[in-house]
């Protein structure tokens, strides 16, 4: 049978999807496939926990941890911008659903092994809700690549150049590693870029229609990270100038209308942020950023240090983590000549963003892979590299082709190292060398996260991508990986035949509308915590016990972590959490928790019994004897406890004492099988 194959140029238009759609799908799939499946930072945890709390309890209360802040009703809050948490809710909800159905305190292939504290064993890893949260930033990262492509077209470059520019940015800059984690920087960056794109249109009718979308975009950026406000103001002013230039014959009416539309989004975001503060702290002007690391300190000294570090530091240099930016040094004059207003806007927006970051005490970003705090500034400047891409991919100048290829390959290499190894290895190295507190790591080549992680990668240590686990442990995770690989392959092929951005503008429009809707729904769904602490402790305990009895161990663990945040010595939460540890064979951890229970209440019989059994299982027979004797004192008529004591005495080689205990049991229960069995094993 003959099959007629259409040539590529004659493929149906339906197959030739728009380039922005394909780009977003391909890069989102790639970022998800490259991700760790777990967190490395508490900053990630608090945002995910807030989203999960909203789904499970309709509040923003989270377990206490070192970056959580105590607020209204004595609860702990994440105090990060509300944008990312609300937008991630659909994915976190799906993850929480899976946790309750098939989750385990032992973790899994996709979610990784349990990573946490004794009181909160799944804090950083082992939960599907964490994996779901990471899907959010993978999607945002893919959308960022798409909007960069559209911005390049808006600047007047051809399809092939715009595609090369977008793909290079998506594969060879810090966007890669940041899209595999769960920080707010990708959302902040995407929103600012969307705001710029919406407000930079030259068509008068289209620009008027999209002005309010531009305002929504920069408002969303502020809800993602409040320090985006200065850059948002610059972009808004740029939009106002563009609109002013489109006014006919000095007609100020349409211009003022567009300015008002674009200002609506930021104004609403400010109101929502004040409401967010009130829900968490009972005060609209309290943000939770009031600690010593969150206060802006305007001076010239710190910004100067930060500028030097972000230019030349082996730990933070933007030219190391986004090498293509080097080309700006050679083509910025061309950019300024061709796009004077746009170039000035992007330079000022990036500068405003950087100065805000440089004015906080932790401008270095703490433990991170590269300059994550200035991701927005980096990508705002990337369009200024377009003349270099034109010379390399349109004019095909040999020198520029070699230079751009080298910079792109270096960027890809740096990002591969970044996603391959657990980022916390940098913290371990800094602490081992005692170079963290003094910021000495910033200018030590040996302390560069690229070098630290490369050594681990070459040694095969701390390899973190969930794809690596999926390949070595075939199962459902491997099926997901194969699907993602197929999507990436198909999308890459389609990019070869997509020649126009038809439908492209729908990508930022639908994305911003969807994200804004999720944020609004999140605000409407959020209730303030009003119950007193003791009442919440009882409620969380009861809910945790119900979840534990129903086999929803992951949910129970979360609820006990909440209780222990409010009452660290709560014996019921500690005891029940110890039972969860025993269930998965983590006997040592259960003993530690039982010890904490007995330190506060030595007569709590359930823990006395269980710690004795746990120590017996650990072959700590002397410790088991001590605990069993205490249990017998509390329950003197329990023959099962006495025979358990005898077994411990037998294994501790305390034969005479074991015989005495067995004889006591047989004195009033002559047919006790356990006592007879122990006596049979005792030497004569």
- Identify the pLDDT of residue 67: 85
Q: What is the pLDDT of residues 534-553, one digit of tens each?
A: 999 999 999 999 999 999 99
- Tens of pLDDT, residues 169-217: 999 999 999 999 999 999 999 999 999 999 997 766 677 778 899 999 9
CA 209 to mean position of chain CA atoms: 34
Domain residue ranges in the chain: 19-65+126-291+301-525, 533-681
User: What's residue 7's pLDDT?
Assistant: 37
Which numeric CATH code is attached to 533-681? Answer: 1.25.40.10
Name the token pair of 502. 């038809």
Across the 684 residues of the chain, what is the mean pLDDT of every consecutive 10-residue run?
A: 34 58 96 95 94 94 91 91 95 95 90 91 94 97 97 93 96 97 96 95 72 94 94 95 76 79 93 94 80 61 87 94 96 95 96 91 84 96 97 94 97 97 91 81 90 95 94 92 96 79 78 96 94 95 95 94 95 95 93 94 92 93 92 89 91 91 87 88 84
Determine the Cα–Cα distance for residues 465 and 181; give it in Å rounded to an integer.
Answer: 11
Q: What is the pLDDT of residues 370-417, one digit of tens each?
A: 999 999 999 999 999 999 999 999 999 999 999 999 999 999 999 999
Question: Phi and psi for 51 in degrees, rounded to 5?
Answer: -65, -40
- Residue 9: the pLDDT is 38
What the block records as the tokens of 207 is 């620009």
Residue with tokens 């305002």: 215
- State the CB neighbour count (10 A cutoff) for residue 659: 18
pTM of the model: 0.92
Question: Which of left, alpha, beta for 79 (phi over 0: left; psi -120 to 50: alpha)?
Answer: left
Output the CA angle 441-179-118, nearest 5 degrees. 70
Element (H, E) at 69: strand 69-70
pLDDT given for residue 366 in this prediction = 76
């Amino acid at each position: 049978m003959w099959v007629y194959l259409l040539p590529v140029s004659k493929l149906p238009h339906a197959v030739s999807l728009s380039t922005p759609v394909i780009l977003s799908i391909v890069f989102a799939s790639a970022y998800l496939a490259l991700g760790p499946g777990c967190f490395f930072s508490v900053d990630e945890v608090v945002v995910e926990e807030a989203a999960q709390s909203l789904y499970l309890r309709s509040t923003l209360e989270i377990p206490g941890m070192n970056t959580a802040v105590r607020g209204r009703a004595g609860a702990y809050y994440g105090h990060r911008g509300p944008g990312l948490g609300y937008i991630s809710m659909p994915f976190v909800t799906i993850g929480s659903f899976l946790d309750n159905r098939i989750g385990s305190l032992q973790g899994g292939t996709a979610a990784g092994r349990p990573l946490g504290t004794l009181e909160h064993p799944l804090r950083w890893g082992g939960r599907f809700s964490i994996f779901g949260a990471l899907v959010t930033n993978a999607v945002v990262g893919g959308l960022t690549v798409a909007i960069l492509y559209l911005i390049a077209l808006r600047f007047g470059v051809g399809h092939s150049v715009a595609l090369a520019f977008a793909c290079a940015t998506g594969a060879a800059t810090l966007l890669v590693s940041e899209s595999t984690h769960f920080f707010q920087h990708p959302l902040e960056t995407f929103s600012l870029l969307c705001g710029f794109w919406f407000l930079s249109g030259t068509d008068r009718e289209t620009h008027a229609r999209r002005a309010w979308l531009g305002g929504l975009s920069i408002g969303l950026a502020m809800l993602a990270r409040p320090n985006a406000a200065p850059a948002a103001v610059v972009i808004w002013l740029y939009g106002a100038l563009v609109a002013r230039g489109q006014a006919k014959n000095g007609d100020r009416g349409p211009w003022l209308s567009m300015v008002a539309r674009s200002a609506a989004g930021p104004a609403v975001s400010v109101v929502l942020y004040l409401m967010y503060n009130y829900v968490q702290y009972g005060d609209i002007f309290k943000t939770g950023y009031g600690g010593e690391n969150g206060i802006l300190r305007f001076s010239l000294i710190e910004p100067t240090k930060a500028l030097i570090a972000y230019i030349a530091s082996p730990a933070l240099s933007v030219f190391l983590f986004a090498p293509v930016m080097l080309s700006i040094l050679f083509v910025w004059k061309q950019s300024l000549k061709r796009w004077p207003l746009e170039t000035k806007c992007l330079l000022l927006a990036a500068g405003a963003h950087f100065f805000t970051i440089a004015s906080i005490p932790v401008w270095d970003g703490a433990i991170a892979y590269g300059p994550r705090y200035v991701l927005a500034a980096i990508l705002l400047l990337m369009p200024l590299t377009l003349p270099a891409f034109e010379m390399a991919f349109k004019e095909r100048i040999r020198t520029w082709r070699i230079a751009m290829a080298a910079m792109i390959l270096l960027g890809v290499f740096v990002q591969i190292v970044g996603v391959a190894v657990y980022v916390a290895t940098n913290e371990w190295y800094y602490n081992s060398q005692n170079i963290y507190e003094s910021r000495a790591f910033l200018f030590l080549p040996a302390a560069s996260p690229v070098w630290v992680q490369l050594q681990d990668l070459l040694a095969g240590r701390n390899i973190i991508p969930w794809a690596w686990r999926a390949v070595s442990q075939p199962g459902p995770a491997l099926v997901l990986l194969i699907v993602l690989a197929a999507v990436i392959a198909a999308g890459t092929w389609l990019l070869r035949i997509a020649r126009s951005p038809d439908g492209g503008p729908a990508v930022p429009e639908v994305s911003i509308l969807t994200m804004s809707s999720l944020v609004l729904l999140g605000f409407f769904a959020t209730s303030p915590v009003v119950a007193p602490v003791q009442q919440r402790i009882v409620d969380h305990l009861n809910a945790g016990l119900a979840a534990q009895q129903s086999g929803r161990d992951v949910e129970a663990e979360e609820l006990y972590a909440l209780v222990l945040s409010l009452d660290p010595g709560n014996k019921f939460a500690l005891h029940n959490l110890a039972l969860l540890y025993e269930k998965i064979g983590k006997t040592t951890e259960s003993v530690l928790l039982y010890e904490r229970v007995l330190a506060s209440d030595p007569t709590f019989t359930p823990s006395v019994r269980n710690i004795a059994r746990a120590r017996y299982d650990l072959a700590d027979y002397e410790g088991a004897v001590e605990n069993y004797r205490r249990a017998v004192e509390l329950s003197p008529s329990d023959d099962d406890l006495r025979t358990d004591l005898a077994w411990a005495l037998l294994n501790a080689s305390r034969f005479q004492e074991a015989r005495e205990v067995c004889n006591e049991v047989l004195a009033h229960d002559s047919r006790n099988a356990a006592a007879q069995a122990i006596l049979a094993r005792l030497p004569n």
